[in-house]
């Protein structure tokens, strides 16, 4: 009985964390699965070429080009990049985001390396929020 109470309390804690910050809860679960012993298999069977729900990250670096830009994001803290966004912006000119600024995005996972950890997404410009556009 005591074990069930501890498990129920832990499940409640996780649920509350997910409600407080669902993007971070999703990222934590995804990263845990990808860094597990079967992470490469998990990526191939459950993540590659899948449109993932909206996530949030903090800009570490950005290379802005016409048509396609690359933005590296820290997801677990503000310093270590864990995600690369390949942003397909077409003819839209974008301002270079400042390091430390937050971006929300959703996109298709296209590449993954376990060490150093990096998950790469193809992202249409319409799926990026908080990224400034030049007029």
DSSP string covering 31-99, please? HHHHTSTTHHHHIIIIITT-BPPPEEEEEEEEE--SEEEEEEEESSSSSSEEEEEEEEEET--BPPPPT
Q: Which of 39-43, 49-53, 93-97 has the lowest mean pLDDT?
A: 93-97
- Contact between residue 49 and residue 111 where contact means Cβ atoms under 8 Å apart: no
Measured distance CA(95)–CA(93) in Å, rounded: 7
Predicted confidence band of residue 45 (pLDDT cuts 50, 70, 90): very high
Question: Rounded to two decimals, what is the model's pTM?
Answer: 0.80
Predicted confidence band of residue 66 (pLDDT cuts 50, 70, 90): confident
Query: CA separation (Å) from 40 to 29, 32, 52, 97, 117?
Result: 15, 12, 17, 31, 11
Measured distance CA(120)–CA(81) in Å, rounded: 11
Predicted confidence band of residue 19 (pLDDT cuts 50, 70, 90): low
Predicted confidence band of residue 13 (pLDDT cuts 50, 70, 90): very low
34 or 134: which leads in pLDDT: 34
2-129 — its CATH code? 2.40.50.140
Q: What pLDDT sits at residue 91?
A: 85
Measured distance CA(127)–CA(108) in Å, rounded: 10
């Amino acid at each position: 009985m005591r074990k069930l109470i501890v498990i129920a309390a832990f499940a409640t804690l996780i649920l509350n964390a997910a409600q407080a910050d669902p993007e971070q809860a999703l990222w934590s679960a995804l990263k845990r699965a990808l860094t597990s012993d079967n992470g490469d298999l998990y990526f191939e069977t459950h993540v590659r070429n899948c449109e993932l729900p909206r996530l949030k990250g903090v800009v570490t670096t950005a290379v802005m080009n016409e048509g396609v830009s690359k933005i590296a994001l820290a997801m677990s803290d503000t310093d270590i990049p864990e995600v690369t966004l390949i942003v397909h912006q077409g003819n839209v000119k974008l301002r270079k985001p400042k390091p430390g600024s937050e971006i929300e995005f959703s996109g298709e996972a296209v590449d993954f390396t376990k060490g150093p950890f990096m998950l790469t997404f193809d992202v249409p410009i319409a799926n990026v929020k908080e990224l400034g556009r030049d007029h």
